[in-house]
Amino acid sequence: MLIFDSVQKKKREFTPLEEGKASLYVCGPTVYDDAHLGHAKSALVFDLLVRVLKANGYDVTYARNITDIDDKIIKKAIEQNKDIKEITEFYTEAFHKEMEAIGVERPDIEPKATESLEAMYELVQKLIDSKHAYKTDDGDVYFDTSSDNKYLSLSHRVQDEEDKVQRVESSSEKKNSADFALWKSVKDNTLTFDSPFGAGRPGWHLECSAMIEKHLAKPHAKFAVDIHGGGADLLFPHHENEAAQTRCATEHALANYWMHNGFVNIDGEKMSKSLGNSFFLKDALKVYDGEVLRFYLLSTHYRSNFNFNEEDLAASKKRLDKIYRLKKRLFGLATNNEKTKFQEKLLSALSDDMNVSLGLALIDEMITHANETLDTAGKHKELKKETISNLYYIEEILGFSVKNPYEYFQYGVDEQTKEKIAELIIQRDEAKKAKDFEASDKLRDEILHYGVSIMDTTQGTFWEKI
């Protein structure tokens, strides 16, 4: 299996720290607002990675944190005059529900910052003891970047000397401008914790390092985890700082492989509050089936920037429809679940740094071939079994077409309408039998009026929501 390591900037063969096992840590959401399409993309990318690792036979331990200590959370709580916990629990639950809607499986471990404070204290204490961190008169604790000769080795950044001097002058508390807070002294009573370094809050880079030590790190391995992932923007400063803390506080480096997913833009523009174009997942789910969103967001390479627009989304839906139509054609038939050549090729494509585009091309070719054979030799038993097995494989490894095909095509249509359509179809069939095509066409127009399309097959007339 090949993984593009964004620190070494090349594809590397995946070799786990422990034979047959893979550990993965991904930076999760800060729960102060609804998840947008970018959060969805990141969660989907690593959900797929876990599936591909499992398909390659690895026993995967996947952790994704919930950041529930943050200034933005406090701000929101004050704004809405609510308890901090009320805010974090609300958005955590919303996040879980929305992830479920797009087929993202829950990670094995979902650590919260508020539950990992002891691990954070321990880490900070180690850094102070080893002179990699220092306390200021204000009670803050900073990481001393000049004490780490590997600092910036992750992001390959170069220190800007002039900038450095200027900022040091303006902020006398820090030894170096690049130094970042491990512990921030806070005197108010919003959300503070009594640490060995005084009351305050942890710095935002600290929690990931601490949680990894607590939940995933193997004591004597060269790296704490196999893979560390997150959005492309996190490489600097977040991951750089995480790596520095862990490297200096423990005897191992943080991660063997670093993976970063590309960004989601909306109609060519970056999503941002100031542009007013943040696209929340919950809003997208009102209009689109979660699975269509999953298919669309995963359809291009995870490292590329993704430009979200409705035309491309519609094209993705059509592509997913084709999988479901084939599933519908074979609905209810048994399978032998045998490994096929197609499955091998699909796994091989996905195992090459998750080449989904190539995988989708394989799927489309498989579908065309199956439909072609089914058209010309409808009783081809072996092919039917193989195809069903292939469809199950697509479900398992990509999470596409997991629903009942009939339900999928009638998504969002209420029961009353369904009954009405069924009734009209019966009437039309009768008119057709009587060769009264004028009447049957009229009835079809009436059916189409409900925003559905109908198709006559040898098994009867079916309808789909357009």
Site for RNA in 46-85 (CB under 7 A): 72
Amino acid identity of residue 250, one-letter, is: T
φ, ψ (nearest 5 deg) of residue 259: -125, 135
Q: Could you tell me which of 50, 35, 23 has the C-alpha nearest to residue 106?
A: 50
The verdict on 455 binding RNA (CB under 7 A) reads yes
Which C-beta is closer to RNA: that of 318 or that of 379?
318
Among 39, 51, 174, 201, binds RNA (CB under 7 A): 39
Stretch touching RNA by CB under 7 A, among 39-47, 121-129, 242-250, 412-420? 39-47
Contacts of range 90-98, beta carbons closer than 8 Å, 24 or more positions apart: 91/29, 91/31, 91/32, 91/33, 91/34, 92/31, 92/66, 92/68, 94/34, 94/35, 94/282, 95/29, 95/31, 95/35, 95/39, 95/66, 98/34, 98/35, 98/40, 98/281, 98/282, 98/285
228 in helix, strand or coil? Answer: strand
Told to check if 156 binds RNA by CB under 7 A, we report yes
The nearer residue to RNA, 200 or 231, going by C-beta atoms, is: 231
Per-residue interface string for the shown chain with RNA, residues 167-196, x marking contact by CB under 7 A: ------------------------------
Q: Give the Å distances, CA to CA, from 52 to 3, 301, 322, 354, 442.
A: 11, 15, 23, 8, 50
Q: Minimal distance in Å, beta carbon 230 to RNA?
A: 5
Query: Quick one: 58 or 302, whose CB is closer to RNA?
Result: 302
Q: Which of residues 385-404 bind RNA (CB under 7 A)?
A: none
Helices (H), 276-355: 281-287, 290-298, 310-329, 341-350
Q: What is the three-state SS of 151-220?
A: CCCCCCCCCCHHHHHHHHHHCCCCCCCCCEEEEEECCCCCCCEEECCEEEEECCCHHHHHHHHHHCCCCC
Q: Is 441 in the site for RNA (CB under 7 A)?
A: yes
Instruction: Name the segment binding RNA (CB under 7 A); options: 58-66, 243-251, 283-291, 355-363.
Output: 355-363
Q: Among candidates 16, 160, 341, 271, which has minimal Cα distance to 168?
A: 160
Binding RNA by CB under 7 A: which of 146, 190, 337, 357? 357
Task: Indicate whether 368 belongs to the interface with RNA (CB under 7 A).
Answer: yes
Of these, 18, 118, 129, 365, which contacts RNA (CB under 7 A)?
A: 365
Binding RNA (rule: CB under 7 A), the pick from 89, 105, 310, 372 is 372
User: Can you tell me which of 142, 306, 342, 408 binds RNA, judged by CB under 7 A?
Assistant: 306
**Which residue in 242, 87, 219 sits closest to 155, CA to CA?**
242
Residue written as token pair 């991660």:
255
From candidates 18, 233, 251, 267, binder to RNA by CB under 7 A: 233
Contact of 447 with 424, CB cutoff 8 Å = yes
**N- to C-terminal Cα separation, the chain:** 39
Q: How far is the CB of 318 from RNA (least distance, A)?
A: 4
Q: Single out the segment in contact with RNA by CB under 7 A; choices: 117-125, 135-143, 363-371, 417-425.
A: 363-371
Q: Please, which residues bridge with residue 225 across strands? A: 255
Site for RNA (CB under 7 A): how many residues? Answer: 74
Contact between 440 and RNA by CB under 7 A: the answer reads: yes
Q: In this chain, which of 5, 7, 38, 88 binds RNA, going by CB under 7 A?
A: 38
Structure tokens at 409: 């095509």
**Tokens coding 31:** 């729960």
Considering beta carbons, is residue 124 or 313 the nearer one to RNA? 313
The one among 30, 61, 195, 387 contacting RNA by CB under 7 A: 30
Residue spans of beta strands (DSSP E) within 412-459 = 452-457
Do 247 and 166 form a contact (C-beta atoms < 8 A)?
Answer: no
Contact between 204 and RNA (CB under 7 A)?
yes
User: Smallest distance from the beta carbon of 124 to RNA, in angstroms?
Assistant: 18
Smallest separation (angstroms) from RNA to the CB of 352: 7
In the DSSP assignment, the letter for residue 466 is: -
299 binds RNA (CB under 7 A): yes
Nearest CB to RNA, comparing residues 97 and 442: 442
Smallest gap from Cβ 161 to RNA, in A, equals: 10
- Residue from 42, 65, 88, 410 touching RNA (CB under 7 A): that is 42
Q: Is 238 near RNA (CB under 7 A)?
A: yes
Binding residue (CB under 7 A) for RNA from 371, 389, 417, 427: 371
399 conformational bin, left if phi > 0, alpha if psi -120 to 50, beta if neither: left
Binding positions for RNA, 309-338, rule CB under 7 A: 311-312, 314-315, 318-319, 321-322, 325
How far is 304 from 442, CA to CA, in rounded Å?
A: 48
